[in-house]
Amino acid sequence: MRTSDRNFPFLNQAIRILKNHNSRNNTAINKQSRQYLLTSIAGLALFLGGCSLPNNPFQNRQSPTLPQPAIDAPPQSERASISAVPTDPNFVVAAVQKVGPAVVRINAARTVSAQAPDEFDDPVMRRFFGSAPPARRVERGTGSGFIINANGQILTNSHVVNGADTVSVTLKDGRTFRGEVVGEDPVTDVAVVKIAANELPVVPIGNSNVLQPGEWVIAIGNPLGLDNTVTAGIISATDRSSSDIGVADKRVGFIQTDTAINPGNSGGPLLNARGEVIGMNTAIISGAQGLGFAIPINTVQGISQQLITTGEVQHPYLGVQMVTLTPEVKEQLEIESRGRIRVAAEQGILLVRIVPNSPADDAGLQAGDVIQSINNSPVTKTEQVQQLVERSTVGSQLQLTIQRGQKPTQVAVTLESLPVQQGDR
């Protein structure tokens, strides 16, 4: 609809006030005129809030007086923690000042043996020079971490301290301490380091379960040796599977962000706009730009508490290699088997290998079986199976409905602890 001066007498008065103001050679508007002007403009804004103006692509065309569709909102306790659009233009500064003192640099050194050149295995060479001693060299790496306890407990990535002979932790104030690795979990890439210090600054912890794509996030770390570097961006996606980003041996639903993350950022915090830690920066995709990944802080907390309490983490273990069943997978399977293997099911999880002596093997599962549901919950993607297994406990039992040939079958599998260095689910 078009607006006219006839419909808005208060607008005419506001315009006259502006004209009078201009004609007075920029003299101050008197107090009564200024108040009338503000009231008139506010009234116009409220009125236009329910109108649809032509050629305005940003106008909400739905009248606020109409009933709105129901939205599945999070509980009130979680709703308050969802990041809103920051109103403070310096919200990044505020977040960094709040958290920065609790972000640390972690230096790790490990001694590795290098394979001697093949020439030294030649009998003639050994005759004259003897056996070559094993070559040794020291590998050094730098990562980041953040303090979660005033008595010196620090979280970082497992790959930052894995196999390290020595670990040192440098605080933002310049103090350096020898670090002790309390425990690490390569499956989720989480580690806990302890230093002998008291009254340290700590980070505030947020809730990664309520994150949404588009929220502002901030990363603090030591990329490429540049200490206390701050970058900012948004959450690009949540719950990215490990297979999506090329680290299939991890059991994490990653946060994807376009915040700049580089080597050295590993183990550092990812913050929301309020300066709360909602993730641990951990991975990048080689050659990609604007693609960084973080472990959700809720996952980090669960793993770290087990490491602090027992020094290790038990992950439930099924013992299968699997693939999401699609028409393309079915066709490829028939081609590669030259028609000897045909899968009747149209969807589900195709088991391509059963690990010997695993819980799946003990339960009688076979390659070629198709999982249709677990504990009466339908599954159509491998990520669903991974999540259901990971959320279970060692020793618990899963009820699987599988299709073997044309026949549905019920199979009960008792989960065991994931063997060390075993990447199968």
- Active site residues per annotation: 159, 189, 266
CA distance 364 to 293: 37
Angle formed at CA 101 by CA 140 and CA 144, multiple of 5 degrees? 25
Number of H helices, E strands in the chain: 10, 21
CB 134 within 8 A of CB 126: no
Compute the distance between CA of residue 203 and CA of residue 154 in angstroms, rounded to an integer.
10
Cα–Cα distance, 94 to 88 (Å, whole number): 9
Q: Which two tokens stand for residue 37?
A: 């002007």
Tokens, residue 350 = 């195709």
CA distance between the termini of the chain: 61
What is the separation of C-alpha 123 from the centre of its chain, rounded to a whole number of angstroms? 54
Distance from C-alpha of 308 to C-alpha of 194, rounded to nearest angstrom? 10
Cα 274 to Cα 86, 148, 259, 399, distances in angstroms: 8, 17, 16, 43
The span from the CA of 283 to the CA of 263, in Å, is 9
Farthest-apart Cα atoms in the chain, separation: 109
